[in-house]
Amino acid sequence: MSDTKNKKIYKAKVAAIEKVTQSSFYIELKCENPVEVKAGQFVSIYCGGLTLRRPFSVFTNNNGNIGILFKERGKGTEYIKSLKVGDIVDLIGPFGNSFDIKNKKSLLIGAGIGVAPISYLKEKLDKNGITNTFAAGFLTKNEVPQKINIDKIYTDDGSIGEKGSIIDYLEKLIQEIDPEIIYACGPHIVLKTVADLGIKYNIETQVAMEKVMACSIGVCRGCVIDVIKDGKTVNASVCKDGPVFKGNEVVWQ
């Protein structure tokens, strides 16, 4: 491990790589030194000669070994999918802030690949004895990752769990569970709905934003969003100021 401008660079060996849904994969990276990562943070992986690294939320962290859940969406993820057990990669991180874990009855919302950091968060909450319910939405049962502890599942086609988008069930979930705090990660529309309902029911919400990132350190300004601070609208970089934000502070477009 070495430090470059406060970025920790790790050499890691691929310990496992497998297809876990119809379109997503899991890779576990055994780092030369254990990596301490908080729920909600991410790492960036160098992808075989490509100029820009690719950022990934941490899905698991077993004895300092980083687990990542990803979908093949371009050359970077195509490269990662092609890796074999024993291959060496280099990653930088962890980046960003994390979920602010509180000892409150929690509702966890994940949608699609956004279940990754929420699953890691649930692990932390369980270890601390914090009451929580993890609800997740997918297109179909073939998109539900293996070996993930989800309490309530929703699928657009009804192939497993309740039928329909998780968005359609969010208010009902809040009314049934009566959470004191909501944590969420997923597509923009899911996070916006969570934030809106948090305001309606006066419940604190924390949302992990998904944005395309280039530098991962707040320099390129490619992942800027607007947030409210001290009554004023200001810019914030998802990679540096986030990826976790208070739902009621985000200016939702």
Q: How does pLDDT run across 190-202, given as a tens digit for each residue? A: 999 999 999 999 9
The mean pLDDT of 93-121, rounded to a whole number, is 96
Amino acid at 126: D
Residue 168 has what DSSP assignment?
Answer: G
Query: Are residues 218 and 120 part of one domain?
Result: yes
Write out the residue range of the structural domain in which residue 58 sits. Answer: 2-95
Interhelix angle for 170-177 vs 188-201, to 10°? Answer: 40
* pLDDT exceeds 90 at position 3: no
Please identify, among 49, 65, 95, the residue that sits at the C-terminal boundary of a domain: 95
Look at residue 169 and tell me if it is in a domain: yes
Q: Specify the pLDDT at position 214.
A: 65
CA distance 111 to 126: 20
Least confident of 91-95, 105-109, 195-199: 91-95
Please identify, among 30, 60, 95, the residue that sits at the C-terminal boundary of a domain: 95
Predicted confidence band at 88 (pLDDT cuts at 50, 70, 90)? very high
Predicted confidence band at 1 (pLDDT cuts at 50, 70, 90)? very low
The mean pLDDT of 91-105, rounded to a whole number, is 95
Predicted confidence band at 248 (pLDDT cuts at 50, 70, 90)? very high
- Count the domains in the chain: 2
Percent of the chain's residues with pLDDT above 90: 76
Q: Specify the pLDDT at position 16.
A: 96
**Cα–Cα separations (whole angstroms), residue 96 to 51, 58, 92, 213, 250:** 21, 12, 12, 12, 17
The mean pLDDT of 48-74, rounded to a whole number, is 88
Residue 161 has what DSSP assignment?
Answer: S
Please identify, among 53, 72, 95, the residue that sits at the C-terminal boundary of a domain: 95
Query: Are residues 175 and 215 part of one domain?
Result: yes
Query: Are residues 173 and 244 part of one domain?
Result: yes
CA distance 101 to 149: 19
Query: Are residues 158 and 52 part of one domain?
Result: no
Query: Are residues 114 and 160 part of one domain?
Result: yes
* pLDDT exceeds 60 at position 5: no
Predicted confidence band at 211 (pLDDT cuts at 50, 70, 90)? confident
Assign 118 to helix, strand or coil: helix
Look at residue 101 and tell me if it is in a domain: no
Arithmetic mean of pLDDT over the chain: 91
* pLDDT exceeds 90 at position 219: no
The mean pLDDT of 202-226, rounded to a whole number, is 83
* pLDDT exceeds 50 at position 129: yes
Q: Specify the pLDDT at position 4.
A: 39
Q: Specify the pLDDT at position 36.
A: 86
Q: Specify the pLDDT at position 121.
A: 98
Q: Specify the pLDDT at position 218.
A: 65
